[in-house]
Amino acid sequence: MDTFERIIYLREQLNRHNYNYYVLNTPEISDKEFDDMMAELIRLEKENPQYNDENSPSVRVGSDLSNNEFEHVRHEYPMLSLANTYSKDEVEEFYIRTKKALNEDFEICCEIKYDGVSISLIYEDGNLRRAITRGDGTFGDDVTANVRTIKSIPLKLRGNYPDRLEMRGEILMPWESFDKLNKEREENEEPLLANPRNAAAGTIKQQSSAIVAKRNLDSYLYYMLGDNLPADTHYDNLEAARQWGFKITDTIKLCRTLQEVFDYIDYWDTERKKLPVATDGIVLKVNSLAQQEELGFTAKTPKWAIAYKFQAEQALTRLNEVTYQVGRTGVITPVANLDPVLLSGTIVKRASLHNSEIIEKLDLHIGDMVYVEKGGEIIPKITSVEMSKRNPDGQKVEFIKVCPECGTPLVRIEGEAAHYCPNETGCAPQIKGKIEHFIMRKAMNIDGLGPETVEDFFDHGLIHNVADLYELTEEKIIGVERIAEKSAAKIIASINKSKEVGFEKVLFALGIKFVGETTAKRITEVLPDIDSIMSASFEQLTAINDVGERIAGSIIKFFRNPDNLDIVNRLRNHGLKMAIETSSEGKTDILKGKSIVISGTFELHSREEYKKIIEDNGGKNVSSISSKTSFILAGEGMGPSKQKKAEELNIPIVNEEEFNKMINI
């Protein structure tokens, strides 16, 4: 088997195992076997770029390169909304209205309404060519690179499929992935996402497809469009799509009577809570495509389908107390302590009140009977007060004025809802929180330390900031809360090993307010050492992708603090990496001074790879055509509007082969 045959074999096997695992849920090989095959494919493709395929399973891992702008694309078929109903009476009205309009027997296809982000997938000759968000229903954003990382979406179809088809569905973030993401955001003191839909929407528009790949999004496809569909009914088309490799829900049911529809609603009103993804209702569609066409559309919605929305589950319970937590960046979070109440299958005792504005808006008093919901059915929140049950003697909840831990007067930054304790170096929860952030896996990855150990070391006076970690010795920590010689050796070895961590992680580990993992990476791509960052102006910082005014101001404030500068210098002296280690291998200045627009799809390299090639050869990627554009690197499917503008401005159009000759690859 030669190299090309091996690459084709690996792609076929990986596609099959992806389908077995993520669609059929019946894996045939171990995770390690899969990972080994994927590693071999990535290696072979890297060594043999002439065999690149934009729909290779290797694209599932994503790319760290940034999409500076998503291309705006017109939908071939408008993506309309569904009319919403909230009661069985309204469902009955829809059924009777449909019956009168058709005046013949009909079937209703009932499906769970998944609460995610609508997507349109275009396939040509069985290959995924384009993925477009709903947008305004007429135009959407091209997010193909990000969608290719979603393992339940087929890159190549199986079986006997049409030459061209469009599949529509939902991109979802499963509860498990959502909980993990919110835990990470909580550790970084970023606002928690209210529900998986918001999380999925934010993820699919990420500039880096590598981040999308890590978020483990899922999908369910629910509608097929095209000129050569396999069947005359919606249900049979979905069954065909299932055979081609699409993930189609198993919850679909054909109903022939109104009572069957009601039975379906009643069943899934409870059972949906056991599903691994968020749902918010049921979709009812007339099954026959001919009958759909006969019923037609209103200006905004199809007449042959409606959505029945489930009611959010609420519970009434007593507010006993409001307490306040101090985070590592000094953010003060009020927490409502409640009488325990059962809600969506779990006991709820506490609910975040987020900030003073929410407390004021709710007009909370101690002893109030409050309605509690789960936002997106996961985060408990107080939605309102039952005023008829208010105790007139209940004390009004007033947001605190000083830090509950150190007594420092709180501050509130203009334009922000949160209150902060400004005592960064003297407030115990902030100090310990910064150290816990510093040692975490995504930062310095210091094994053997955790929140409890950090607290013990802090209480024993061994550490007061992150730089103190590098002055610990085995002798100093042996005996602290039962730390034996073996554990002490492991901790010190891990602290020393952390000196090998890259600069972008060191910057993230410093715990600068609002500077998350991705932002730290973006900053170090432009400002490659700590001295450049410390001396950067506000304008320099805000010019960096993903760095807004709030982040820039926070960075400048952090490095103006003498205590922070002292910590950074001590870390530098202890040997931590304070600059990006770069390599000039494979880089030239062939494209120096040239601004290049990339448009269309390519055979030899992906758009993301071409963007990196341009940067590595001194060029600049730009997203829109102007008189300053040097040339357009054009692949298949270059938009007619771009071609017209290029002709008007006399901008050269270079194809893939010409470009590769230009830079000698």
Torsion, Cα 600 135 176 192, to 10 degrees, reads 120
Q: Label the pairing between strands 595-599 and 419-420.
A: unpaired
Q: Which pair of structure tokens corresponds to residue 564?
A: 């922070």
Given the residues 113, 285, 432, 577, the one annotated as active site: 113
CB contact burial 10-24 (16+ within 10 A = b; e otherwise): bbebbbebbbebbbe
**103 to 95, 285, 295: CA distances (angstroms):** 12, 17, 11
Task: Report whether 304 contacts 291 (CB < 8 A).
Answer: yes
Closest to 229 in 3D by CA, of 212, 244, 208: 244
Cross-strand bridge partners of residue 132: 120, 142
Q: In what order do the strands lie in the sheet with 108-114?
A: 83-85, 305-309, 279-286, 108-114, 253-255
What residues does 335 pair with on adjacent strands?
A: 323, 352
3-state DSSP call for residue 95? Answer: helix
**Residue 620: Cβ-neighbour burial (10 angstroms; 0-12, 13-18, 19+):** middle
Both tokens of 113, joined, read 């309404």
Phi and psi at residue 555, in whole multiples of 5°?
-65, -45
The verdict on whether 274 is a catalytic residue reads no
Q: Nearest 5°: CA angle at 67, between 66 and 69?
A: 140
Q: CA–CA separation, 432 vs 464, rounded Å?
A: 8
Q: Which residues pair with 282 in a beta bridge?
A: 112, 308
Q: Which residues are catalytic?
A: 113
